[in-house]
Amino acid sequence: MSSLMIDTLCDQVGGEDVAVACVYCDFHAQNEQSATTVLGALLMQVVAGMEPIPNEIQSAFERAKSQVAGRMLRLPEIRAMLVKSLSSLRRGFIFIDALDEFPQKNRPELWDSLQQIVRESSNTRLFTTGRPHIRDEVKRYFDGGATVIPLYPGRGTLSDIWK
Per-residue model confidence (pLDDT) at position 108: 94
Per-residue model confidence (pLDDT) at position 41: 93
Per-residue model confidence (pLDDT) at position 75: 94
- C-beta separation of 35 from 110 below 8 A: yes
Residues of the chain below pLDDT 70? 1-2, 6-7, 9-15, 67-71, 144-163
Give the domain CATH number at 48: 3.40.50
Give the count of domains, the chain: 1
User: What is the extent of the structural domain holding 77?
Assistant: 2-160
Per-residue model confidence (pLDDT) at position 89: 92
Flag whether the pTM goes above 0.95: no
Per-residue model confidence (pLDDT) at position 153: 59
Per-residue model confidence (pLDDT) at position 128: 87
**Which amino acid, one-letter code, is at 124?**
T
Cα distances (Å, whole numbers) of residue 141 to 85, 87, 100, 112, 128: 23, 21, 15, 7, 13
